Chain A
Amino acid sequence: MGKLYAKKRQSIKEMKPSKSAVSFILSYSQAMKIVKVGTHTFENIVN
């Protein structure tokens, strides 16, 4: 019987960012406040 040289395709895991990365984004979104004064826009990070 002929030998198969082709490699068995490995199952590709679903790529996801780390939990800490997602957690950081959500925390950033909660902390970030935009204040508009006239034509100026200020970003505030509220802890």
Chain B
Amino acid sequence: MANNAQTPDAILLQNYISGDETALQILIERHQSKIFGFIYSKIPDRSVCDDIFQDTFIKVIKTLRTKGYNEEGKFLPWVMRIASNLVIDYFRHNKKMPYQRETEEYSIFDFMTDSSLSIENQLIEDQVYLDIRKILDQLPEDQKEVIKMRFYEDLSFKEISEITGVSINTALGRMRYAVINLRKIVEKNNIILTN
């Protein structure tokens, strides 16, 4: 173990790639304090830091196993860079409010929408409701009654049948004919009921 303390990182990495698992353990023990300290300086939450520390070394392991080790770079700065990117990812994922910067290409008002109707659309909507009321008046009384109870008073067919003194099936039948007749009137008079 005394030798291990002096073994350079590059040799330990080569040993690890060759299959020596203890080399990784030595590397972790050697650098864990700096790497974990760096993560903790950005995110002061031990459990999150543990997760990021783990993810950092998982990336290290995967890269070493698949691509090998590039001796041009020093091991610790490389690992710190991976940890730094994971810290940035963590903040990106945890951003509660999306941040949009206004540029010359698009204005902030391009993606801000107003859910309320415009004055024009409000007028159209009022006109549609008025047209529907007028069409309803053309229906036979029993069909008009079912439509009003179901859609305007929000009653169930059971309640409608109890109030009007007919069976549920009769109430359903009246509704069916009411809808068919409404469609016929709309088609005949070329009425547009859309906003």
Contact = CB atoms under 8 A, between A and B. Distances in A.
B81 interface: no
Interface residues of B, number: 21
Interface string A3-33: 0000000000011111011101110111010
Given A16-B33, A26-B25, A29-B21, A34 B58 contact: no
A14 B37 CA distance: 8
A21 B62 contact: no
A34 B17 CA distance: 12
B54 A25 contact: yes
Contacts of B61: 25, 28-29, 32
Contacts, number: 49
B157 interface: no
B49 A17 contact: yes
B69 interface: no
18 contacts: A15-B33, A15-B36, A15-B37, A16-B32, A17-B36, A17-B49, A18-B46, A21-B50, A22-B28, A22-B32, A25-B24, A26-B25, A28-B58, A29-B21, A29-B61, A30-B21, A34-B65, A43-B62
